[in-house]
Amino acid sequence: MSQLAIKRQTTKDIEAQIGTLSRPSKMPCHGYSLPATECKRGSILRKIENSVCSDCYALKNRYLFNNVQKALHKRLDALLSDTFTWQHLITELINRKEKKRLLQMARQRRHPKPRAPVSHQQHSFCPSSYNILDTH
């Protein structure tokens, strides 16, 4: 697939081919998850007590839901089926998502949301509204 053909695709079309990006709250950028069950090194290290993979977070909790597993395997299948095309599609998708995120951040800096004024009377912990000598 040519670069021009990729540029002409919508973001939704690209996501339909390779899967969506995640937005982890503890990372400054987008993520792209693959199934931990398919990790060759991890399948060996999981069996070793106290190894880095022995208590893998990606093998429990929400990662076990069917819809999550389907999405993880869809991403892996896209990667393995045509690595060259996948490489160009994922690059385009990340560029689009990051550009959108950076534009949103710039807009927020230029036009910050007004904050509500804080009254000292609203907070019981505020020293000006709390008098320890008050005996009422």
pLDDT in tens, 68-89: 999 999 999 999 999 999 999 9
Residue 14 lies in a domain: yes
> Under a CB-based contact definition with an 8 Å cutoff, are residues 59 and 36 in contact?
yes
Does the pLDDT at position 67 exceed 70?
Answer: yes
Indicate whether 59 belongs to any domain: yes
Q: Is 128 inside any structural domain? A: no
Query: Nearest 5°: CA angle at 39, between 35 and 40?
Result: 160
Q: Would 62 be classed as within a structural domain?
A: yes
Q: Which residues contact 90 (CB under 8 A, 6 or more apart)?
A: 18, 32
pLDDT surpassing 70 at residue 2 = yes
Cβ atoms of residues 130 and 62 within 8 Å: no
102 phi, psi to nearest 5 deg: -65, -35
Q: Which two tokens stand for residue 49?
A: 């007590």
For residue 57, tell me if it sits in a domain: yes
The answer to whether 31 and 23 have CB atoms below 8 angstroms apart is yes
Percent of the chain with pLDDT over 90: 55
Domain hosting 70: range is 8-97
> What is this structure's pTM?
0.68
pLDDT (mean) for 96-112:
81
Residues 17 and 87: beta-carbon distance below 8 Å:
no
pLDDT for 98 equals 87
Q: What is the rounded CA–CA span in Å between residue 11 and residue 97?
A: 9
Helix (H) or strand (E) holding 25: none
The count of domains in the chain is 1
| pLDDT (0 to 100) of residue 44 | 95
Name which of 81, 82, 98, 84 is nearest 32 in CA terms.
98
